[in-house]
Amino acid sequence: MIPRTLETKLRELAGYYPAVLVTGPRQSGKTTLCQMAYPDRRYVSLEALDIRDFARSDPRGFLAEYADGAIIDEIQHVPELFNYLQSDIDTRPDPGRFILTGSQHFGLSQSIAQSLAGRCGILVLLPPSLEELRSFSTAPANLFPLLWQGAYPRIYDRDIPAHQWLADYTATYVQRDVRQVINVSDLQTFTGFLKLCAGRTAQEINLSALGNDAGVSYNTVRSWLSVLETSYIIHRLPAWHTNIRKQVVKAPKLHFFDSGLACYLLGIREPEQLRLHPLRGAIFESWVISEIYKAGVHSGVQPSLFHYREARGLEIDLLIEQGQELATVEIKSGATTTADFFKNLKRFSDRMKSAGKTRRIRSHVVYGGDESQQRSDAQVLSWRHARRVVVGESPGKME
């Protein structure tokens, strides 16, 4: 068990709301977090079929068993329980009575909106950030082993070979979780689709092209992408657009949350293979954006992240809206900085000024090297300090 940043926000929301839901991908550490935060709280898992049947067939009796509160794990298995929780909470609205977890986001938001609106705080726990992974003694010290292994905690906690664990995780996800949500008659086709998505990480989404390659319809692609997104396998990075230029591409980019899972699906079997792989830069870009995303959601904030591309040339890998500030980020997997890294950042800043935009712009380069420094054109951040884009610390304050 390692300390998780989200614990602070979990305790805070539990002081306000009668219930708090922690959602996120399977095996991200939700149960461990809740039990660490509340070690004396009764615990019950709806993963067990007999307990699930009890909660479904006699929800009032089930909740009466935990009248003083509990950690209820995997609550997505009995979504109808939310209706009875509403009545129970209204009768006794003590803050923090119920800590809920859900491995899948399927239907959870809708159930809470219908039954527990205003009564339940919602948090997202993703696999550990780099900062959190450092608490494991087995965490890699170098970039490519880190990208290749990914961040799922059981790989580090149990010292399981990453390739083996990710193979089992993928099989469980496809054969069990996906089947619970959509009617997939051909699991092999869905697995192939998942691998095609890994090959498109850090690329703009073209539904028609993806459907043609996967051999499925346009509507099926839309449905399957939604499944991957709601189960926190991927996320879509929307395009940022304002009236500074007419020919702005508005397609979102696809990013995998976990670089290790992307590497496994791409058949990358060792870190050295990743170092020479043609998708090295794309995997690194997705990893950096995931780190920045985690810095937000693990603090209880949904970050406003975007990408930017004009039809003729100018492209910014990541834009972050922070109030009146706009952070622009170029992401490069190379270990040596070059003048090329700063070119698009300067062009974008000039474009904003010429359009009469007065927002303050903070320019950053996150790269695969070890040294962070403040330059006149941009703040240069080592991959080790990627999350500092959000925190906004200067190189002099970094460890």
pLDDT band at 45 (very low <50, low <70, confident <90, very high): very high
Q: What are phi and psi of 152, to 5 degrees?
A: -65, 130
Average model confidence (pLDDT) across the chain? 90
**Residue 398 scores a pLDDT above 60:** no
Structure confidence at residue 119 as a pLDDT band (50, 70, 90)? confident
Strands 70-73 and 43-45, by their bridges, are parallel
pLDDT at 243: 60
**What average pLDDT does the segment 234-247 reach?**
80
Distance CA 210, CA 212 (A): 5
Is CATH 1.10.10.10 what the domain over 130-280 is classified as, yes or no?
Answer: yes
Taking only the tens place, the pLDDT of each residue in 182-233 is 777 678 888 999 999 999 999 999 999 999 999 999 999 998 999 899 889 9
**Beta carbons of 220 and 196 less than 8 angstroms apart:** no
pLDDT at 317 over 60: yes
Contact in structure between 116 and 89 (CB atoms under 8 Å): yes
DSSP 175: I
Angle of the 187-198 helix axis to the 218-230 helix axis, nearest 10: 70
Q: Is the per-residue pLDDT at 108 higher than 70? A: no
For 6-124, CATH number out of 3.40.50.300, 3.40.50.1170, 3.40.50.920, 3.90.480.10 equals 3.40.50.300
Angle between helices 187-198 and 207-214 (to 10 degrees): 130
Which has the higher per-residue pLDDT, 358 or 253? Answer: 253
H helical segments located in the chain = 6-14, 30-37, 49-57, 59-65, 81-91, 108-115, 130-133, 143-149, 153-157, 162-172, 179-181, 187-198, 207-214, 218-230, 259-265, 271-275, 280-297, 340-354, 388-391
Interval 348-367 mean pLDDT: 87
Q: Cα separation of 394 and 388, whole Å?
A: 8
DSSP state string for 176-192: IIIHHHS--S-HHHHHH
Residues 6+ apart with CB under 8 A from 84: 59, 60, 63
On the question of pLDDT at 267 being above 50, the answer is yes
Mean pLDDT of 91-118: 80
Asked if residue 357 has pLDDT above 60, the reply is: yes
**pLDDT at 167 (0 to 100):** 95
CB atoms within 10 A of CB 141: 8
C-alpha distances (whole Å) from 161 to each of 2, 150, 188, 260 are: 19, 11, 24, 12
pLDDT higher than 80, residue 319: yes
Q: 350 CB contacts (<8 Å, ≥6 apart)?
A: none
- Asked whether the predicted pLDDT for residue 396 surpasses 60, the reply is no
pLDDT digits (tens, 9 = 90+) for 143-176: 999 999 999 999 999 999 999 999 999 998 877 7
Task: Write the DSSP symbol of residue 252.
Answer: P
Q: What is the pLDDT of residue 323?
A: 84
The SS3 of residue 149 is helix
The two beta strands, 98-102 and 373-374, are: unpaired
Position 397 pLDDT exceeds 50 = no
The structure tokens 């329980």 sit at 81
Q: Where are the domains of the chain?
A: 6-124, 130-280, 304-397
Name the residue among 235, 167, 180 with its Cα closest to residue 205: 235
Comparing CA positions, the residue from 156, 136, 161, 37 lying closest to residue 96 is: 37
In words, the CATH class of domain 304-397 is alpha beta
- pTM value is 0.93
Average pLDDT of the residues in 268-287: 96
Mean per-residue pLDDT for 10-21? Answer: 96
